[in-house]
Every structure is written in structure tokens, then in C-alpha cells.
Amino acid sequence: MSKIKNIQSRQILDSRGNPTVEVDIITENDILGRASVPSGASKGKNEAFELRDQKENIFLGKGVLKAVQNINDIIAPELIGKSVLDQICIDKLMLELDGTINKKRLGANAILAISLATAKAASNELNIPLYKYIGGIYACFLPIPLINIINGGKHSNIPSIVFQEFMIVPIKANTFIEAIQIGHKIFYQLKNILNEKGFSTNVGDEGGFSPNLNGVEDVLDHILEAIYMANYEPYDQVGIAIDCAASEFYENDRYDYSIFEKSKKNEKNLIKSREEHVSYLSYLVKKYPIISIEDGMDQNDWEGWKLLSDEIGDQIQLVGDDLFVTQVKKLNEGINKKIANSILIKVNQVGTLTETIETIHIAKKNKYKNIISHRSGDTEDTFIADLSVAFNIEQIKIGSLCRSERISKYNQLLRIENELGKYSIYSKWN
């Protein structure tokens, strides 16, 4: 039984240049497990608490030295000498040390860094791949990637697109490398189209382009054009997934598109009731090859979510992100109310690997699809790539085919595909 000999923590930078927490777990055999924590731009109100220093003169208040100190002074002394192989015990002990519902005392960023580093140290100690350490012998399939190609909302500096992410889904790819090839061709075809029309091809937080297009439908028209120009068939070979991030433009019981979308439309049409917003999403699904909508309604608009689920839940994938925040209690509420049919899994929304796995299992048991996801402020850490394979997760969101913090995860999945020798994606899109 290998025990934890030392825990070292530090403040590093994420993909936006903001501080985040990194932890090294060192075993008595001098085996290292290292993990770092991502951070989102648009966050669910019920996410586990991300502890920041709030000192404006240091990293504009975004420092994480308090979280680092909590690791060094409070958590590490309790964990040194514990078995690195006992993930559940370590995660449970940290939850007891914190003692709050949302990890506000120690910080979810402090707790998560240790939780993930522990799993990495254990897999290295046993000299087996991380995905097999977490998932066991049944970890053998890769997820379908949802490839970000246009950023809007809070992920873009261009105030013309209200929805946050537009992704392509290579639904008929037989292998992960084939899925990447399809995404690559469409991504660069879109770049050529935007360049020819004089639009910017600068990229947003997750690597998708941020052109000053004229609203949601203009974006979808350009994506459809790129799919055709790349010689693929929408619906049959490639679908479109969107992340509305509706909580970011929900105010006073209305969905106010004008918060982001400065288009040529009549301003009156940019402010919608929940019924009008649901109707618009339904219209988009009929007009375009949209097969997945994430956070179509505000995280607290359960009535709106029910309307949306009843309207198109039997036609496409409806994903709860801010709605469920990777937490069993929230997911169970959605299941009981027959709301959405899929869940986005973000490890930092809940704060430990053990809790993340529990949520994944509850979703699977109730036939909700799981989509493993990065955050807009991410690091080069590839943990979620292994996590997706560990439980044969259906899909993964890791951004676009650029920016090294995104590419690192794609590359890890390609390595895993090569290791498995099966070269197969979990399943075709249903």
C-alpha cells in the first residue's frame, strides 16, 4: 500500500492568464501525480465554490494563494500517510475538513486539485493508464467530440451573437481520428469562408472563431455553408450542437437577446418570453441540422425547461449544464420532473472525483447521456480526456482545433485510441 509522502501546491496560470491551483501528490515511492484546476466564465449559481483572494492589487482579485494555503496548512497534514489508492476515503476526508455544502471554507479549487492529483498518483504508482485505473477493464471506447467552431456570448469579445457556443458533431465517424479529420476540414473551410467575406478569424476563449456576424441564424448559415463546402452532408454525417448559456441573458423573467446580440432585427424581437424563446429554439431545430442544445433555458427557470423538454426533448439532445452543475441532487430533480435528457459533466462544478463519478452513474442509470466538458479557462491538464474513456462516456466537449490547452486533450484521446488498438467511438448518434 503506497502512502502519500508529500503534497506540494502552487499558483499557476490558466488559458486566460488568470491564476489557478496546481497540486503535486508524491508517494513514498517518489511517484508523482500532478493536477491543475480549470475555471469557467459563465458559471452556474450552484457550482461548488471557487476560492479567490479578492485582492484587487494582485491579479485583479483573482489570486488563489488562500486556496494554496488551505492545502498546505489544513488539508496536507491530514492526508500525508494516507493510502494514495483510497480515492473515496481521501475525498470524503476533505469534505469533512471543509464542512460546508458548497466547499466554501477550503475552496473547491483546492479540494479538486488534490482529488485529481491523487488519482493520477495512484495510476502512476500502479503503472497503468489513468483511464483504466479510474474505469477498470471495461474502459474501451472513445467519446464523440463536440467541436467548437464559433464562440459567442461571454466567450467572445464581439457583442453580436447571443448564444455562447456553436459546435459541429461528426455523428457518423467510426474512429476518433476520423472525427477529428472531419472537424478539421470544416473548421478550416469556415475560416476560408470568413476570410473571403472580410470577417475576423480571431478566436475566442475555447478556440472557435469570433466573427461579427449578424446574430444566431447568420452563424448557423455560415456553419452550414462550411459543412457543404467540406463535402459533408448535414444530418447524415455532421450535426450542429449549440450552447445557449441562457442564464447569461435571462433577466426579469425574459430572455433578453439584446444583452449580447446587436443585430439589424427590431429590438422588440430581441426580448422574448419563455414561450417565445422556446418557440424560437424549436424553429431553429426545424430549420437547421441542430441535434443538441445545451442550457437552452435559465438555470432556475424550471417551468421554461419543462416547456422546452416537452416541445423538442423527443427530437434532440437537451443538455443541462448550469441546470444540474454535475450534482446528484440537481440531476435527480431534473429526472423526477422529466426535464432535459442529458447532463454536462464538469469536475470543478462539484469538486471531487468521487462525486463526479457518482453523478455519471446516476445519469447512466436513468438513461441520461453524459457529456464530459472542459471550462473556458482551462489548463494543459488532460484529466478529463481519460475520464471520458474511463466510463465509456458518449460525448466530450474540449473546444476547437486550436489553442494548446484544447489540443492537449484531443492529443491525449488520440494516444488512448492508439493504446486501445480498437479505434472505435462509443456509439453512433441516436
Positions marked catalytic: 206, 346
d(CA 323, CA 200): 33
Where does residue 333 rank: exposed (0-12), middle (13-18), buried (19+ CB within 10 A)? middle
d(CA 176, CA 413): 8
Evaluate the CA torsion angle 330, 335, 340, 341 in order and state its sign.
positive
Per the structure block, which three cell numbers stand in for 395? 460525448
d(CA 62, CA 79): 27
Contact 131, 386 (CB under 8 A): yes
Per the structure block, which three cell numbers stand in for 71? 492545502
Evaluate the CA torsion angle 100, 102, 108, 114 in order and state its sign.
positive
Where does residue 82 rank: exposed (0-12), middle (13-18), buried (19+ CB within 10 A)? middle
3-state secondary structure 338-365: CCCCEEEECHHHHCCHHHHHHHHHHHHH
One-character DSSP codes across 121-166: HHHHHHTS-HHHHHHGGG---BPEE-EEEEE-GGG-S-TT--SSEE
User: Phi and psi dihedrals of 182, rounded to 5?
Assistant: -65, -45
d(CA 109, CA 311): 38
